[in-house]
Amino acid sequence: MKKSRGSRRGTRKKLRKSPRQRGMPPVTKFLQKFDVGETVAIKIDPSVHEGMPDPKFHGRTGKVIGQQGEAYLVQVRDGGMMKTLIVAPVHLKRVEVSR
């Protein structure tokens, strides 16, 4: 039998919610606003499929470099390269930068 090669391969634990957090997130998560240059953490919400980045970026931090429609352009380091992701605001979380 061939092994599955889907986009959610190997994410059984990564894309799971605890029983008390199941279901859709509050509306305020969809309406979050971020400024250009702000540091954000990518925290994928598995109940929202739209604007979801690849699961390998779950838990990474990046910098908002722009906006594309309702989504944000987030620059993340992957290996030695910088990659630009298009991510919906529901999958982003503000990070306080300590100096």
Q: What is the tally of structural domains in the chain?
A: 1
CATH of the domain at 33: 2.30.30.70
Instruction: Give residue 77's pLDDT.
Output: 97
Instruction: Give residue 55's pLDDT.
Output: 95
Domain of residue 34 covers: 26-94
pLDDT category at 58 given cuts 50, 70, 90 is very high
- The helix or strand, by DSSP H or E, that contains position 30, with its residue range, turns out to be helix 27-30
pLDDT category at 80 given cuts 50, 70, 90 is very high
- Chain centroid to Cα 37, Å, comes to 17
Report the DSSP beta bridge partners of residue 83. Answer: 76
Instruction: Give residue 7's pLDDT.
Output: 87
Position 48 in a domain = yes
Position 99 in a domain = no
pLDDT category at 31 given cuts 50, 70, 90 is very high
Instruction: Give residue 74's pLDDT.
Output: 98
Position 20 in a domain = no
Greatest alpha-carbon pair distance for the chain in Å reads: 52
Position 80 in a domain = yes
